[in-house]
Amino acid sequence: MTKKRILTGDRPTGKLHLGHLVGSLQNRVKLQDTYEQFVMVADVQALTDNFDNPQKVRDNVKEVVLDYLAVGIDPQKTTIFIQSLIPEIAELTIYYLNLVTLERVLRNPTVKDEIKQKGYGKNIPAGFAMYPVSQAADITFCKASLVPVGEDQLPMIEQTREIVRRFNTLYGDVLVEPEALVGNIKRLPGTDGQAKMSKSIGNCIYLSDSVDEVNKKVMGMYTDPARVHPTDPGNPEGNPVFIYHDAFNLNKKEVEDFKVRYRTGKIGDIEIKKRLAEVINELLEPMRKRRKEYEDQPDKVDEILRSGNHRAQEVAKEVMAEVRKAMKIDYSL
Ligand code: ATP
Ligand code: MG
């Protein structure tokens, strides 16, 4: 029996952070045995809003791949590849653009938020506005049925499902309708208290941060702004320090105890933050080690990418042949 497929990926706009870990990476590590998994470094998508800084995208491709290997994505089980090396994805995007309206694309709430965050105003680059369509091509080029992502990506999966249904209705049953799989923590807030930890905002704890960097970032974290003294009653609800404890501290009794003492003004922020920094450093330590091992073997990393790209190209050719046939553009000239 052939395994079902997973497709997911990340934009090489920076190193990966704790948000990626809980949103998607943990699920990838867990599911790589049961699914045939494809993990894509989305350089084409990163260029949609970084076209004026290609060096940044180029440099971060390597960083993202090292992060994958560091968290335990196993290249023997998972196909790691680079988006731009699969031209079929670009080709599919062109065909899918016929199946969506401008109005529909601009209604996407995540795209709307990002347009606001990037301050595009009325000058939205067309490529950026269309990236959800390109993402539909990413997911479907290998007929993936499952997509492990953070909550901000749910509108993209919905859009993909619509495109798949429209394609299959018009041209015949070729594509697979994917489902999203959101991680335990749907959207990890930033260290600054903003709703989402994000590379583009810079409110991140990176998986590759050193012990000192983690300590510094955690000690500077946003907490309950209404609490001035350790004896003031504080609110753990929606407080990023507690959200991180819930996400990463395996000692649930300790976390509950912190919450009770915080609410009643019997513990200082410093004690809670110190413990959080410890917990995060314990979590990251094995990743730092594994990252270093691969950093020291650049040839091995190149080989992993070479064979990953090769495998993705094989699959892309197979699926593209079916798509071309269904769309009556399968010329044998
Ligand atoms: P950028 O700011 O360049 O968009 P990003 O930090 O949002 O970067 P992406 O590469 O866009 O990262 O996201 C990759 C994956 O990680 C997506 O599935 C996304 O939903 C998930 N993800 C990113 N940030 C978080 C977060 N804070 N919490 C949960 N999941 C997240
Ligand atoms: Mg993003």
What are 136-156's pLDDT values in tens digits? Answer: 999 999 999 999 999 999 999
Q: Which ligand is nearest to the CA of 147?
A: 1
Ligand 1 centroid from CA 20, angstroms: 6
Tokens standing for 290?
């594994």
As a whole number of angstroms, the distance between CA 67 and CA 204 comes to 14
Q: What stretches of 107-201 adopt beta strand conformation (E)?
A: 146-149, 179-182
3-state secondary structure of 56: helix
pLDDT of residue 184: 86
Closest CA to 48 of 81, 21, 84: 84
pLDDT of residue 1: 66
Same structural domain for residues 222 and 276? yes
Nearest C-alpha to atom 6 of ligand 1 is from which residue? 198
Same structural domain for residues 285 and 149? no
Verify whether ligand 1 is closer than 6 Å to residue 189 (CB atom). Answer: no
Give yes or no for a contact between 269 and 47, defined as CB atoms under 8 angstroms apart.
Answer: no
- H/E stretch holding 266 reads none
Residue ranges in the chain modelled with pLDDT below 70: 1
As a whole number of angstroms, the distance between CA 115 and CA 130 comes to 12
Same structural domain for residues 220 and 302? no
Atom of ligand 1 nearest to the CA of 25: 16
Verify whether ligand 1 is closer than 6 Å to residue 28 (CB atom). Answer: no
Ligand 1 centroid from CA 150, angstroms: 6
Ligand 2 centroid from CA 270, angstroms: 31
Same structural domain for residues 35 and 155? yes
Ligand 1 pocket check: which of 6, 11, 206 to mutate, most ligand atoms within 8 Å of Cβ? 11
Same structural domain for residues 168 and 218? no
**Do the domain assignments include residue 80?**
yes
**Burial of 228: CB neighbours in 10 Å, binned 0-12, 13-18, 19+:** exposed
**Do the domain assignments include residue 331?**
no
Which amino acid is it at 293? E
**Do the domain assignments include residue 92?**
yes
Ligand 1 centroid from CA 100, angstroms: 24
**Do the domain assignments include residue 48?**
yes
Tokens standing for 41?
């470094």
Same structural domain for residues 112 and 74? yes
Q: Work out how many domains the chain is built from and give that number.
A: 2
pLDDT of residue 207: 98
Same structural domain for residues 172 and 227? no
Nearest C-alpha to atom 20 of ligand 1 is from which residue? 150
Same structural domain for residues 275 and 137? no
Same structural domain for residues 310 and 162? yes
The pairing of beta strand 146-149 with beta strand 36-41: unpaired
- H/E stretch holding 261 reads helix 252-263
Q: Which ligand is nearest to the CA of 198?
A: 1
**Burial of 134: CB neighbours in 10 Å, binned 0-12, 13-18, 19+:** buried
Instruction: Name the residue range of residue 251's domain.
Output: 211-291
Verify whether ligand 1 is closer than 6 Å to residue 240 (CB atom). Answer: no
Verify whether ligand 1 is closer than 6 Å to residue 198 (CB atom). Answer: yes
Verify whether ligand 1 is closer than 6 Å to residue 148 (CB atom). Answer: no
Domain with residue 266: its CATH number is 1.10.240.10
